[in-house]
Amino acid sequence: MSTTADELRDEVRRRYAEAARAVTEGESCGCGSGSCCGGESDAVMFGEALYDAKQRGELPNAAVLASLGCGNPTAVADLREGEIVLDLGSGGGIDVILSAKRVGPAGTVYGLDMTDEMLALARKNAAEAGALNVHFLKGMIEQIPLPASSVDVVISNCVVNLSTDKAAVLTEVARVLKPGGRIGISDVVAEDRLSVEQRAERGSQAGCVAGALSQSEYIAGLSAAGFEDISLAFTHEVADGMHGAIVKARKTEQPEAKGRPAIEPAKRAGCC
Length of the chain: 272
Distance CA 32, CA 37 (A): 9
Architecture label for domain 71-269: 3-Layer(aba) Sandwich (3.40)
Residue 264 makes CB contacts below 8 A (sequence gap 6+) with none
Query: With 90 as the cut, is the pLDDT of residue 40 above it?
Result: no
Distance CA 265, CA 69 (A): 25
Query: With bands split at pLDDT 50, 70 and 90, how would you rate the model's confidence at 94?
Result: confident
Predicted local confidence at residue 160, as pLDDT = 93
Distance CA 266, CA 272 (A): 6
Which helix (H) or strand (E) covers residue 40, if one does?
none
Predicted local confidence at residue 105, as pLDDT = 96
Predicted local confidence at residue 263, as pLDDT = 59
Query: With 70 as the cut, is the pLDDT of residue 239 above it?
Result: yes
Mean pLDDT taken over the chain: 80
Residue boundaries of the structural domains of the chain: 71-269
Predicted TM-score of the model (pTM): 0.80
Query: With 70 as the cut, is the pLDDT of residue 44 above it?
Result: no
Q: Are 272 and 205 in contact (CB under 8 A)?
A: no
Predicted local confidence at residue 70, as pLDDT = 61
Q: Say which range, 12-26, 57-71, 174-188, has the weakest mean pLDDT.
A: 57-71
Q: What is the rounded average pLDDT of the residues 227-231?
A: 97
* Geometric angle at alpha carbon 251, from 246 and 254, rounded to 5°: 165
